[in-house]
Structure 1
């Protein structure tokens, strides 16, 4: 049997590359040689059949192994070439995402400062109202609990000469604040700013707005003997409570009273906030 000349590999060290694998040219030449050997063995009729079969099997196995080595080497080289590019793309993506986040935070910061500056712009420049002597402050108003005895109309006029009006009580907190500052007595009562003197049973505040609900004692107002003005009662009975202390009475009764003077700047600020 004539065997084709094997490829000239030269020095064995030349078959090894830097990675410890055959270089591509050598691998291809070796594969071609083995394939030619297989074809030759298959075409020869001489020689023992066992020898010929063994040679063919060995050559075929070498071809298969060599192809696997070439495929693995190519795959590794491809991955090595692709990895830096993939990492670079990931880094570029991370940088872009970070820059986008920074830009969003800067924009939100600008909007926040714009709101802060706008809020400062609407703040009142005038100082808050300072309550005069004997007046007490609650919310945006000052209150005077006067122990002078006057009928409802004269009490109303007195409060107006002081720059205020008879007290307008709109919340349970305000009602409780004032009631807590009234002294207890047998029947201590104080005028405040409601009346139905214009139309019976249509109670209004001194500024003309209607009274909604209110803090009437049970059974009040009852309009007993032409009772057209409202007052607050605080007695020595401890079971009485602030939110059930309004009564109606004739407006010509002479009683102490409660004045209110509003802080216009604070009231305007509250109104803007709402």
Structure 2
């Protein structure tokens, strides 16, 4: 291939096609060609033609022009294919585009999931508020062991002078106490084996049916206190409990399908953030 400063000269290539006699003229054709690296250089084709009339002069001019056009076409085609992107590059670009699109879709889904979780929490809070601010429940008059009448709200169970509510909702120990307080109650405080057995008998059997009640050692480790601040005098821990296995500062009662398990050995300690059911207690006035 010619360099940018060279010229292709066909001097006298057709000199045998014309007579030695007579005058001869030069025919010159020049064109600009762009190289693959962007440089532009001229290509000049020169031929000797006869100045006089005759078929050879026309043929020579046409042939020289065709040669120049052919050379220009070859250089242009070569430059085009050299600058054309490879299929591998096209595939890489396409793959990068696909990865970017998938990443954007994943980010969008994560944001939507976060929003759904926030909406769910807001709905649960509204439901909780609605439950705690509804009209006063129907109450029933039930005689206690002393013969006096005690009023218990619907779905609450009477023992001595207290009413107990067994929840079906699963929340943390702290939220359980908050829920009970909104009902004018507190997490259950259990002082006697009779009270413990009464509550345990209300619980349904299941694989591991657990309920928060009002005991914790959050203030001082191993110093268990009731929610009213009094110390625990009589307890009903399962053997080996409490063990503070993983920062377990709150107490719960368990009732399982194992018939050998008994009420007076059914307390366990657990992390207070765990979500389980709970038992509320409300002290009632006698009439």
In terms of fraction of residues, the more strand-rich structure is 2
Relative contact order, higher structure (CA 8 A, sep 6+)? 1
Kindly name which structure, 1 or 2, has the bigger radius of gyration based on alpha carbons: 1
**So what's the TM-score if we normalise by structure 2?**
0.48
**So what's the TM-score if we normalise by structure 1?**
0.50
